[in-house]
Structure 1
Amino acid sequence: MTSKSLKELIAAADERALAASGLACLDRCLPMLVDEMDVLRPLWSGIAAGEDGWAERLATARAALDSVRADEAAAPVRRMIGAAPSEWVTGPLAEWATACSALALEVHRDLDPSGGDEGPLVAGEQRRQIQILEILLATEGGAGLRRAMDLVTEGRRVLRAALSRRARAQS
């Protein structure tokens, strides 16, 4: 069986999968912005509820992140969270999920010691993005979201390790 591309998976996704995919990409990049990882948790629970409460939970997450001081490297992550559509509509969510995917890949490319699109950080991030979308497309309800969040946690650990390596190298 041939795996679908990231682009094909995003095109096939519904609102729930798109919102979770975009949020997962940003959540994995969150170590660049803030040490407190629970700031996006209300959005995750909001995805399970669907359209009901999405806009309110999004506003709460934005307010929490706006109070965090961040360096220039984290600015794109903050902008993408700010760009999340308040409407629970496929078109805007697909555009946002695609942009979040690209940002996450760019962040990993910049931190990858071997550089370029073929490095292990980039390959791992792309693999996680595909796995999350495949899980969400195949699984309804909370089980799929829990499995996606497990992959997000793994991705955060990888990014934190890359950030730590980079900081040691710059010392």
Structure 2
Amino acid sequence: MTSSTGRGLRERIDGADERGLAAAGLACLDRCLPLLAPERAEVLRPVWAAVARGGGGAWTESVAKARVELEGAGGEAAGDGGVVAMVRAMLDGVPADWAEAPLRAWAERCSTVALAVHRLHDVTDDGPLHAGELRRQLAVLDSVAHGPTGLRRARELSVEGGRVLRAVVSRRARTA
């Protein structure tokens, strides 16, 4: 990541409101979730809906439900370089409360972890997978800055990013 691009990402996270922070963190988790639970891609849909509604009780409830549904996921993975544990930590770190400070800390951690996960699966440092993840993070933050209507685009970017990461991991597994 170039320092100016990384600085731009941090500035966008710093300037985001609660909805933007929740969407940014959730998008990172959503893109990496296939590494933890490939068969449970839709488990975060209610959490996205809670972000659209602006958090509150819907956020708390949907986060708790997603955690229960994903309990034990990824436990059988071995030899993944710690990636499953990194994704699990993103899930476990989702704040139960819709408040700026914990959402900001979580969004920042998720951004860092998602970039690290993509770097680990890339062929070179700052290679195409990492660069694509950085672009998606910036695009998500830009989309949600335009209000609730940008959440659909943020979700689309997350689904696309999850497919890309899943394809890369699958291809590597076949050639290993």
TM-score normalised according to structure 1 size: 0.91
Deviation (angstroms), 1:169: 2.2
Unaligned runs of 5+ in 1: none
CA deviations over 1:135-170 (Å, ceiling 9, x no partner): 111x212x2110111111110111011101210221
SS in 2 for 1:140: coil
- Tell me the percent identity: 48
1:140 corresponds in structure 2 to 147
SS in 2 for 1:165: helix
Q: What one-letter code is carried by the residue in structure 1 that aligns with 2:46?
A: P
The counterpart of 1:9, out of the listed 3, 12, 15, is: 12
Deviation (angstroms), 1:51: 2.5
CA distance in 2, matches of 1:18, 1:69: 26
Q: Which moved more, 1:64-73 or 1:23-32?
A: 64-73
CA distance in 2, matches of 1:51, 1:160: 29
CA distance in 2, matches of 1:169, 1:102: 28
User: 1:104, 1:125 within 8 Å by CA — same for their partners in 2?
Assistant: yes
1:126 corresponds in structure 2 to 134
SS in 2 for 1:5: helix
Q: Which moved more, 1:44-53 or 1:23-32?
A: 44-53
2:71 corresponds in structure 1 to 66
Equivalence map 1:14-33=2 (5 Å): 14-33=17-36
Equivalence map 1:96-115=2 (5 Å): 96-113=106-123, 115=124
User: 1:65, 1:78 within 8 Å by CA — same for their partners in 2?
Assistant: no
Deviation (angstroms), 1:67: 4.2
1:47 corresponds in structure 2 to 51
Q: What one-letter code is carried by the residue in structure 2 that aligns with 1:125?
A: E
SS in 2 for 1:149: helix
CA distance in 2, matches of 1:69, 1:98: 23
CA distance in 1, matches of 2:92, 2:24: 16
Deviation (angstroms), 1:103: 0.6
2:160 corresponds in structure 1 to 154
User: 2:74, 2:84 within 8 Å by CA — same for their partners in 1?
Assistant: no
Runs of 4 or more off by more than 4 Å in structure 1? none
Unaligned runs of 5+ in 2: none
1:57 lines up with 2:67 in the alignment: no
